[in-house]
Structure 1
Amino acid sequence: MSIVEALIFGIVQGISEFLPISSTAHIIIAQLVFGKTFPGLSFEVILHLGSIVAVVFYFRRDCVHLLKTFFRYLSKRSAHDRPEFFFIVYIIIATIITGGLGIFLEDIFAEIMKTPAFIASALALTGIFLIIIERFHQIGNRTETEMTFLDAIIVGLAQTLAVFPGISRSGSTLIAALFAGLNRPTAVRYSFLLSIPVILGSSVLAFDDLSTGNFAAIGAVPLFLAFLASLIASWIGIVWLIQFLNKGRLIYFALYCFILAIIVVTMLDNSTVPSVN
């Protein structure tokens, strides 16, 4: 893999990971464009690690605060710490739902879900729900202190759909949280913090596929540059999405999904779809 290709894949992964436009679909499309097939999952793990570092660093104070509060509540049972304690519990619940059902769905639909027609349909569906949530749904006003187990279940189920290329993980969790009646700041915070165990978990599950042979086939320099590009681009994607959400402009992401869906279904050949795990 060339340095330019590594940088492009890193940027594509980073930007699309946290924007509601599906990073998996973009990586598949990038592979098709460059005619690349990754050797195993080693390269994808490196790309995801860049995104994990970015989101953890961006929300580092929030992460430290939540962990301290979580363990403090376990020992002291302070009513003041209760909302933050259950906020982490809700993250755990949604993660468990996503992990269990995601593997089940991937096993069932593995053969069809990476075809251009399927990806285009999923992208269009993402765009439709982004329009609905912005234009036709009354945003709620519930904060994390008013979250319930039902909210975690709804968001966890929605996040499970992101196993399908074209369905955005960040988009599905944001849409579900807003539909459930959470206000924008709470939905954004929950969605981003929920991404940490989900992305980390998917990377850990892929560790068995890591091999020095796969790394050697790509090259140390391209791997490092892809990781760095993914980290920086992920940071930009986080900042960008938060700014867009504050202004209520999800419609632009919806239009992008529609345009990309048209490009995918009209310009990509089913027979050329790479095998992406």
Structure 2
Amino acid sequence: MSLFEAIIFGIVQGLTEFLPISSSAHIVITQLVFGYTFPGLSFEIFLHVASVLAVILYFRKDLWRVIEGFFRFVAKRSPKDRTQFYFGLYILIATFITGILGILLEGAVGNWMKTPPVIASMLTITGLALIFIERFHKYGDRTEKNMSFKDSIVVGLGQTLAVMPGISRSGSTLIVSLLIGLQRETAVRYSFLLAIPVILGSTVLAIGDFSAEMVAYIGGLNLLVSFIITFVFSLIGIVWLIDFLKKSRLIYFAVYCFVLALFVATMIDPATVMDVE
């Protein structure tokens, strides 16, 4: 891998991780364009860690408020900490569901799902879901104070769909959160905070894939550069998305998904997948 390619991978991962357009699809597409294949998910997970560090930095006050309120409620049962306790619990429940189902589905999600036809199909589904939530569903007004265990279970199930390249993790959690009636700001916050335990958990499970061969294949300097670039562009993506959603609509992301799906279906030869495996 060249330094230029490492930079491109970092930019792609950083900008797409938290947008509802599937970072996994973009990473796979970038691999196909450059003719790379990475054993396991080690490189993807490596870049995801940079993205989650960006979330932790940006939402550090919100994260600390939830953690502090959670443990203070456990210790003192203070009514003022009740909302943060349950919000933290809902994050854990959704993460647990995603983790268990993700492990069970891991064997079924093979290289065949990283093919252009599958990616194009999943991107199309993502686009249709974004159109539905924007055009045909009335936004709710429930905040974390009004959430329930059922909400966390449904969101956890929705988040599990992101095991398929082309289905966005942030998009699926955002869409499902809006479907169950959460207000947009709460849905966005819940989606971002859910990324932290999910990505960290995936990192722990993927530790076995990290090896000297992987570092040698990509290059130590390239790994460092792609990590830093991912972190920086993840921060840019977070700030931009939050500001964008205050002014604009999800329909624009749907259009992008359709255009990208068309590109994948028509411009990327499925045979190239066999060449890089």
Residue 118 of structure 1 corresponds to which residue in structure 2?
118
CA contact (8 A) 2:109 2:163 kept: no
Quote how far apart the aligned CAs of 1:39 are.
4.5
For 1:170 and 1:209, locate their aligned partners in 2 and report how far apart those are by CA, in whole Å: 24
Structure 2, unaligned runs of 5 or more: none
Q: Post-superposition shift, 1:276?
A: 10
Looking at structure 2, the residues matched to 136 and 29 of structure 1 have their Cα atoms a distance apart, in angstroms, of 31
Q: Deviations over 1:211-233 (max 9, x none)?
A: 12321332221111100110011
Question: Who is 2:68 aligned against?
Answer: 68
Task: Name the structure 2 match of 1:172.
Answer: 172
- Alignment-derived partner of residue 135 in structure 2: 135
Secondary structure, aligned partner of 1:49: helix
**2: distance between equivalents of 1:9 and 1:180?**
34
1:237 counterpart residue number: 237
Corresponding position of 1:163: 163
Unpaired runs of 5+ in structure 1? none
**TM-score computed with the length of structure 2 as normaliser:** 0.96
1 CA distance for matches of 2:172 and 2:46? Answer: 24
Whether the 8 Å CA contact 1:141–1:182 is kept in 2: the answer is yes
Equivalent positions of 1:165-204 (< 5 A) are: 165-204=165-204
Q: Which residue of 2 aligns with 1:269?
A: 269
Residue identity opposite 1:250 in structure 2: L
Q: Determine if contact 2:87/2:144 at 8 Å carries over to the other structure.
A: yes
Deviation at 1:273, TM superposition (A): 2.0
Say whether 1:149 aligns with 2:140.
no
CA drift at 1:7 = 0.5
Q: Which residue of 1 aligns with 2:58?
A: 58
Aligned equivalents of 2:140 and 2:273: distance in 1?
A: 41
Q: Which amino acid in the other structure matches residue 101 of structure 1?
A: L
Letter in 1 for 2:29: I
Q: CA deviation at 1:244?
A: 1.9
After TM superposition, the structure 1 stretch with the greater mean CA deviation from structure 2, 183-192 or 34-43, is 34-43
Change (3 A) 1:194 1:273: same
Residue 36 of structure 1: CA displacement?
A: 1.2
* Matched pairs, number: 277
2: CA distance, partners of 1:223 / 1:274? 25
User: What CA distance in whole angstroms lies between the structure 2 residues aligned with 1:272 and 1:71?
Assistant: 51
In structure 2, the CA distance between the partners of 1:21 and 1:67, relative to structure 1 (3 Å rule), is same
User: Which residue in the other structure is 2:217 paired with?
Assistant: 217
Taking structure 1 as reference, are residues 205 and 47 closer, same or farther at Cα in structure 2, changes over 3 Å only?
Answer: same
Aligned mates of 2:164, 2:230 — CA distance in 1: 21
What does 1:30-49 correspond to in 2, within 5 Å?
30-49=30-49
Maintained 8 Å contact 1:130/1:175: yes
Q: How does 1:251-270 map to 2 (within 5 A)?
A: 251-270=251-270
The equivalent residue for 1:102 is: 102
Assess if the C-alpha contact under 8 Å between 2:45 and 2:199 holds in 1.
no
> Contact 1:10–1:47 (CA<8 Å) still a contact in 2?
yes
Over 3 Å counting, the alpha-carbon distance change for 1:61 and 1:120 in structure 2 is: same
Answer whether contact 2:66 2:85 (CA < 8 A) is retained: yes
Query: What is the CA-CA distance between 1:109 and the residue it aligns to?
Result: 4.1
The 1-side partners of 2:181 and 2:199 are apart by 25
Structure 1 stretches of 4+ moved >3 Å: 39-42, 274-277
